[in-house]
Copies of this chain bind each other. A is one copy, B any other.
Amino acid sequence: MSAEAPRRRGRPARAAADDTGPGARERILEAAREQFAERGYDKTSVRGIAKAAGVDPALVHHYFGTKDEVFAAAIEVSFEPALVVPALLDGPRDAVGERLARFFVGIWENPATRAPLLAVIRSAVTHEAAAKVLRGFVLRRLLERVADGLAVPDPKFRAELAASQMMGIVLLRYVIRVEPLASEDPERIVAEVAPTLQRYLTAPDLRTP
């Protein structure tokens, strides 16, 4: 990212013993999650992530590329699409809405996964790069694959409708924290939102344009 270049310039490449290998990659992701969660998207830099992980910024670029690719990787860990999509599709078709709602509320109720996701939402509203991550990973890689797996018409539109309901819950329950929604039993949120997600994902009437 152009924003990083000038800050890295003149910074001598360090060659610490712990600068490479899978351990370094994990430390970078962990540091990225922490930094994005604590500072938000714009205040976080590849240099800062590298420093927190104890590696050279060049290694961050080597493993992940640009700042928003690091961001995407840090977020994706919260909901490994490769594992989650099959799990959401596995089971009764008429309960996919409930499985999706429970998975979704689950990652938001878990403070470890909530923090970086809050950073995405906060950033996505004001930063195109973060919005792109939200579009690319949450939508394309997770929800659209679920819709595709259900073999329904308009999978993109259905995925976006489902995402809109879940993003709205995030906004009011976890970001703005309106009451009683913010203190409501997570299982009740799942129970009320599941039928909405089910209809968006599988109802035939969404075929009519």
List chain A positions with a Cβ less than 8 A from chain B: 121-122, 124-126, 131, 134-135, 139, 156-157, 160-161, 163-169, 171-173, 175-181, 184-185, 188, 191-193, 195-196, 199-200, 206, 208-209
Q: Whole-angstrom distance from the CB of A154 to the nearest CB of chain B?
A: 8
CB-CB under 8 A from A179, the residues of chain B are 156
Chain B neighbourhood of A139, CB < 8 A: 178
Can you tell how many copies of this chain the complex includes? 2
> Once bound together, how far apart are the Cα atoms of A208 and B131, in whole Å?
36
Contact in complex: A164, B181 (CB < 8 Å) = yes
Closest chain B residue to A208 by CB distance?
B191
**In this complex, what residue of B is CB-closest to A162?**
B168
Instruction: Give Cα distance in the complex from A208 to B195, angstroms.
Output: 15
| B residues less than 8 Å from A122 (CB atoms) | 125-126
Which of the listed residues A163, A176, A185 has the most CB atoms from chain B within 10 Å of its own CB? Answer: A176
With both chains docked as a complex, state the minimum distance between the C-beta of A133 and any C-beta of chain B, in angstroms: 10
Is the beta-carbon distance between A175 and B209 smaller than 8 angstroms? no
